[in-house]
Structure 1
Amino acid sequence: MPLRYRHKGTPGKPSTTAHGTSLAGRLTCHRDGYGFVIPEEPFPQARGDIYIGPHAMGSAMHGDRVLVSGIRIGRAGRAEGRIQRVLERAQTTVVGEYRWSPHGSFVVPYDNRIQHHILILPEEPGGPAKGRAGQRPASDRRELAKELAKELDGFVVNVEIVGFPSATQSATGRILEVLGKRDEFGVDVEIIIRKHHLPHEFPRDVLWEASAIPAGISPEETARRRDFRELPIVTIDGETARDFDDAVTVFPLPNGHFELQVHIADVSHYVRPGTPLDREARLRGTSVYFPDRAIPMLPPELSSGICSLKPQEDRLVLSVLMEIGHHGEILRAEFCEGVIRSAERMTYTAVNAVLENDPAMRERYAPLVPHFERMRDLALILNKKRRKMGAIDFDLPEPVIEFDESGTMIGISRLERNIAHRLIEEFMLAANEAVARHLEEGGVASLYRIHEKPDPMKVMEFEEIAGTFGYSLGLGPLPVRRFSMGRRGQHPGRRQQTVELPAGDLAITPRHYQQLTDKIAGKPEERILSYLMLRSLKQACYREMNAGHFALALPCYTHFTSPIRRYPDLIVHRILRAVLAGVAEEDRAAAVGDVVTGKKRRKPSSATAPSPPHKPRSIPDPVSKTELEEIGIESSEAERRAADAERELIEWKQARFMRERLGEEFDALITSVGKFGFFVELLEFFVEGIVPIETLTDQRYVFQEQQRQWAGERTRRRFRIGDRLRVRLDRIGEMGGKMAFSVVG
């Protein structure tokens, strides 16, 4: 029998007195009406989030900070409760479709996690008639408002909520923007921007500050920096890249080692702490990239102007100079402020053509060919070293949306990765690792990119599915705890379900994943097992405390190489610049001491001599740990928000593309199985949809949860994860474009 608690205590921290418990957390809703609350404070009695049933939601909406009470804990540790009250509203605006009715118009939110319709009163100030009724009598204004409201039927609008829902009253709102008809070009992007609450317009003070930044570099600034302008440094990006924040080159050293130079746009020189530019960049957290447009973190004067490493233009950079040995080890790393002049704006396609011995491309870039070949050689060495350490590398297909000149989507293809992609990836990983190690060894508070070990429950679930294919991560028998679970009110004599949960931590390493990816390479099940392995891992995030990076098999890692589009990188730049300035100050002080004592400081005998043993310096933290913690949380949330928006827009584009293919048949792969059917992904178009179980009419099917399959009662026909089958596209939903298929044959 589950334990029962009643509310008592302060919001935020759980109270487990005799009168019960209550806690605060953030509500995540599901389109079917239920939700989960993520507690703000640890709640040891419960495993994971707290389930909130549809009838226990009250007036809460998706994203609200709420107080949960009436918590019940099941034997498996799953918690269930009800929302006592809303502590803080998350939604102040809602985007949706305007529906006219003579009895009262309303807006249907595009976010299906918001179950409440927003009632729009025509006579409300700010309603559809605002600004168009002039000084007419009230009765005339109401009539005109009704006519204008009727004209808006079916339009997409952005609404400000002026009255939140209650047990007896609907939510009310006023129209802020009319975005157009849903199928008009570009409206889908506007919907996604507002649905995910992406900041997309720069305030005036931000634009003014950006416009005041000089378009050139002063001679004084150039003179105080290290000059790399005569070196064959290049940027390598995609054909449609909008900003260039990294440039690279590789030189051979006399001892046979490599010198890898990674030069990153010095955004921190232009965006100073506490300025309007800085506050807006922190609010956005990251640039957001859609197939046909981008929402930059910084105004264009910086993102595609003075900060972008354009060819044949002087640009300020923070540089990482690394000596790399024959086996990929970083033997020495030097950091400095520099100035570069990129020799070429290269693309992945062009560099790959050079390395594939394309005569025309090798002739066109003849002076750079030896450098590209060295880059390739070094990238292969670095990749071999990472694999030796156990780093995981999933080669999952990534869809690319293709458009014609008018902006109409014409196809979906797979992004092809080549050696040029690998080259830049390896160089950026090396630079990020070098910076992270330097700051951690210096004892300076910094921001880290961490990736924790996977949750034991997720690993156990993956092992069960992989076992049906004859594969395993190689962990051996997993320690588990078993529980007998029965439904509430179930007769004591009826058979109870046995639930298994992991017992304690698992001795899992990234090498377990790497070895399995090697085993399945080229096999029919590679795609589905790689996808499931990725789902078993946790999401990487930003944190002020270093916890290592599981997937990269690195004890220390950060993000440094993309300050134009990621706020954490900008923060790491500021910290590194402060450390460099502090070191220079200490060196100047030491030089004065040398003059006084008459002692001479010996320099290394060669440029390749290893750095002296590190000793902590007395440099105060450039950014406090408290602020770093806040930035880490904000940036992680901004990253997830941007990823969700980018993914959803692609799904909308795919749905629009597939509308012309209703009734057609496709080859598909089952990616997951649930109680209402199973999900499939089309092999050709990377499009996902559901096969509802009611469409399987040849016989009755039973859902076998432990085997994660649907099995026919009359025949041996089964539908399991990883199965390939032929499906027909039956329908595409209006809201969000969810697709439904049926099995053919």
Structure 2
Amino acid sequence: MSKKRKEKKTSSSQKKRYRGIVEVTRSGMAFVIVPTLTKDILVKQKNLNSALDGDEVLVDVIKQAKNLGRMEGTVNEVITRKKTEFTGTLQVNKNFAFLVPDKGNFMPDIYIPANSLKDAKDGDKALVKIVAWGEKSKKPVGEIIEILDASNASDLAMKEILVESGFPLSFPDEVLEETAQIPEGLPKGEVKKRKDCRKWLTFTIDPVDAKDFDDAISFRKMRNGKFEIGVHIADVSHYVLPGTALDKEAEKRATSVYLPDRVLPMLPERISNELCSLRPHEDKLTFSAIFQMNEKAEVINYWLGKTIIHSKHRFTYEDVQEIIETGEGPYDNEVLTLNKIARILRKERFDNGAINFSSQEVRFQLDETGKPIGIVVKESKESHQLIEEFMLLANKTVAAHVAKIRVNKHPVPFPYRVHDTPDEEKLSIFSVFARKFGYKLNLHSPETIATSFNELLEAARGNPEQHVLETLGIRTMAKAEYTTDNIGHYGLGFEDYCHFTSPIRRYPDVLVHRILEQCLEGDIHPDKTLEKRCRHSSEMERKAMEAERAANKYKQVEYMQQFMGESFLGVISGVASFGFWVETVETKCEGLVSIHNLMLKDEFKYNESEYAIEGLNTGARFRIGDKVTVKVVAANLAKRQLDYDLVEELKATPKAASRKNKTTKRKPGKKD
């Protein structure tokens, strides 16, 4: 947490200065969120002094809190810009131009001098980076990074979503220069420093379109009948060194972003797809967790350290699934043995308190222009679960190993991946709702909650209420995050957990590799800024998820445009006071049925405890999980919004009908 800065005295009065994050409202009023304060500091538009939404700033208090009011302040300094790149429309004059940003709360136009105009023309869409914002100048100064093709609306929309979320579209020149200087091949002397695993049977299992292979599995049967199973992870930390431009850019991004038609990588492609990618038939540097295990999936011993591997084969998930189902294929005995062990690990995990939410992934089929032409639903199969269980085992083992180490009698600062217990209020509401379907949750303790959750999910499997219970159950859960405070991972049922297995696409994994290496070498340098870095990674992970959701929503709208006026069977996926959302069964695209349209047929009220809206006259009820038939009436790409209308007629319940037909008796003398 940020510490409160010392009070500074001036000749006229005593001022307090705080460090916090700016949050700008739609009205233009802003607040600085300070972790150590119970109330945010109010900052008027005129006192923002170039600070933008999301910036980290120093704010001086100019008015003290009165009674229960809040403090008012003025921004003294912008410490870190949350966002430096913006998309918008160019207004080009003879010797200069302005970029009028598309989005951003009260973002001023960006001045672009003549030497930065390139071949820009008036009215062009462009991506501009702020390079200066002087104290005297009220306008930021920028340079054009890219002229955007306005004719390709989908490509432009994807880029705008990324920039809007704070992810730069390209890497700075100094980062690309550093990357280009990394030599090809294995560095001299590295082989002698590492465990040589190149003769071991090693292979990768990834999606068919993957290019960045950051994990591999090795398998050896030992003379004593035990198995030696290695989880080998790309040694990104060997190439991305602390303090370099490459490292700073990776930390700033914190994660790769996966949109329906592209990947915005955390690291330049030369590293992610070439130097570090564990491609078949190439020697690669790795950081490994190697386990000695028996047929019961018990870990007899483990080893952590730097290795060198040579992948013999590249599997897709479909390849491995075929081997599991048919028993035949390349290295079938090894694959089947690994799957048998993974099954046991998975069962033990759920037996020990992990929560078994089923996952369903929806992907778009795209044509050569990126336009969606179909929907593919992918379910987690045993091939996916095989890799998942061994990655979980490696992550858990690394975290538990570091958790035992002490420096000056204190735990080593380490970026754990944690997941808190469920929100009690949400859980209580969900428990009441589940009881209506005949399911009971034991809320006595976190352990009994997990056990009864799994029993509920298993009992509901295949029943009409399965989807709604899974959806609402997930909403009761806390969000996983990165922190040095090791509270464990509730959802996985692990006391110690971290992210070790994907350093190509997650920066916390890079930090884990570095700290683990220090621990193994006995040369530990505690990072006092680690908690702040964890918070940043958690925040960027949320930003990436928001960008992915926005991009998926855009593609949904783009896909459903062809079905205007057509009807679909759907399931109510969410309910609010202003209507309910419906996800179509066939296309998996979600749209809103507005309560305004329903009001033409009846008067409705929102029942929060029932996750439903109910008709006051007909008694018609629309509850999350119910099946309905809807018609596509609007598809707004600019707003990324689908609107549906209810097709079916409202049916009065017997109870509602009796209320409607009941004659009211008046007492004598009582007037209307």
Could you tell me the TM-score, scaled by structure 2's length? 0.82
Q: State the Cα distance separating 1:664 from its structure 2 match.
A: 1.6
Distance (Å, rounded) in 2 between the aligned partners of 1:286 and 1:131: 31
Q: State the Cα distance separating 1:242 from its structure 2 match.
A: 1.7
Distance (Å, rounded) in 2 between the aligned partners of 1:55 and 1:389: 53
Give the aligned partner of residue 641 of structure 2. 738
Map 1:438-477 → 2, pairs under 5 A: 438-443=401-406, 444-475=412-443
The answer to whether the 8 A contact 1:110-1:195 is kept is no
Name which of structure 1's ranges 28-37 and 686-695 shifts more when overlaid on structure 2: 28-37
Give the aligned partner of residue 35 of structure 2. 40
1:459–1:561 CA distance, 2 compared to 1 (3 A): same
Q: State the Cα distance separating 1:517 from its structure 2 match.
A: 1.8
The answer to whether the 8 A contact 1:245-1:308 is kept is yes
Give the secondary structure class of the aligned counterpart of 1:549.
coil
1:627 aligned onto 2:529: yes
1:125–1:315 CA distance, 2 compared to 1 (3 A): closer
Q: State the Cα distance separating 1:703 from its structure 2 match.
A: 2.6
1:172–1:310 CA distance, 2 compared to 1 (3 A): closer
The answer to whether the 8 A contact 1:290-1:646 is kept is yes
Map 1:191-206 → 2, pairs under 5 A: 191-206=160-175
Could you tell me the TM-score, scaled by structure 1's length? 0.74
Aligned counterpart for 1:430 among listed residues 376, 384, 393: 393
The answer to whether the 8 A contact 2:353-2:447 is kept is no
Q: State the Cα distance separating 1:737 from its structure 2 match.
A: 1.4
Aligned counterpart for 2:499 among listed residues 556, 559, 568: 559
Q: State the Cα distance separating 1:558 from its structure 2 match.
A: 0.9
Give the aligned partner of residue 308 of structure 2. 339
The answer to whether the 8 A contact 1:12-1:25 is kept is no
Q: State the Cα distance separating 1:660 from its structure 2 match.
A: 1.6
Q: State the Cα distance separating 1:172 from its structure 2 match.
A: 8.4
Give the aligned partner of residue 716 of structure 1. 619
1:305 aligned onto 2:278: no
Distance (Å, rounded) in 2 between the aligned partners of 1:334 and 1:721: 49
Give the secondary structure class of the aligned counterpart of 1:559.
coil
1:691–1:401 CA distance, 2 compared to 1 (3 A): same
1:382-427: CA deviations, max 9, x gaps? Answer: 1111011111132132211111234332112212322110000000
Give the aligned partner of residue 457 of structure 2. 517
Q: State the Cα distance separating 1:255 from its structure 2 match.
A: 5.4
1:130-149: CA deviations, max 9, x gaps? Answer: 567xxxxxxxxxxxx9xx64
The answer to whether the 8 A contact 1:390-1:552 is kept is yes
1:159–1:674 CA distance, 2 compared to 1 (3 A): farther
The answer to whether the 8 A contact 1:390-1:510 is kept is yes
1:701 aligned onto 2:604: yes
Map 1:7-406 → 2, pairs under 5 A: 25-26=20-21, 28=23, 39-41=34-36, 43=38, 62-64=53-55, 85-86=74-75, 88=78, 90=82, 92-96=84-88, 111=103, 114-116=104-106, 118=108, 125-126=112-113, 130=117, 149=122, 151-152=123-124, 155=125, 158=128, 176=144, 177-181=146-150, 183-218=152-187, 220-253=189-222, 257-357=226-326, 362=328, 365=330, 368-406=331-369
Alignment RMSD, CA only?
3.9
Name which of structure 1's ranges 326-335 and 397-406 shifts more when overlaid on structure 2: 326-335
1:303-326: CA deviations, max 9, x gaps? Answer: 111211111111111221112345
Give the aligned partner of residue 675 of structure 1. 577
1:83–1:458 CA distance, 2 compared to 1 (3 A): farther
Give the secondary structure class of the aligned counterpart of 2:515.
helix
Amino acid in the other structure paired with 1:518: E
Aligned counterpart for 1:692 among listed residues 594, 609, 632: 594
Give the secondary structure class of the aligned counterpart of 1:356.
helix
Structure 1, unpaired ranges of 5+: 1-9, 14-20, 74-78, 133-144, 165-169, 477-504, 583-618
The answer to whether the 8 A contact 1:235-1:248 is kept is yes
Amino acid in the other structure paired with 1:676: F
1:625-669: CA deviations, max 9, x gaps? Answer: 413223212221222222222221121122111112222212222
1:125–1:543 CA distance, 2 compared to 1 (3 A): closer
Q: State the Cα distance separating 1:156 from its structure 2 match.
A: 6.1
Distance (Å, rounded) in 1 between the aligned partners of 2:313 and 2:184: 20
Map 1:582-593 → 2, pairs under 5 A: 582=521
The answer to whether the 8 A contact 2:108-2:140 is kept is yes
Aligned residue-pair number: 621
1:37–1:731 CA distance, 2 compared to 1 (3 A): farther
1:733–1:342 CA distance, 2 compared to 1 (3 A): same
Q: State the Cα distance separating 1:193 from its structure 2 match.
A: 2.2
Give the secondary structure class of the aligned counterpart of 2:201.
coil
1:42–1:333 CA distance, 2 compared to 1 (3 A): farther
Map 1:493-508 → 2, pairs under 5 A: none
Structure 2, unpaired ranges of 5+: 8-15, 407-411, 649-672
Amino acid in the other structure paired with 1:453: T
Give the secondary structure class of the aligned counterpart of 1:719.
strand
1:410 aligned onto 2:373: yes
Q: State the Cα distance separating 1:471 from its structure 2 match.
A: 3.1
Q: Percent identity?
A: 34
Amino acid in the other structure paired with 2:640: G
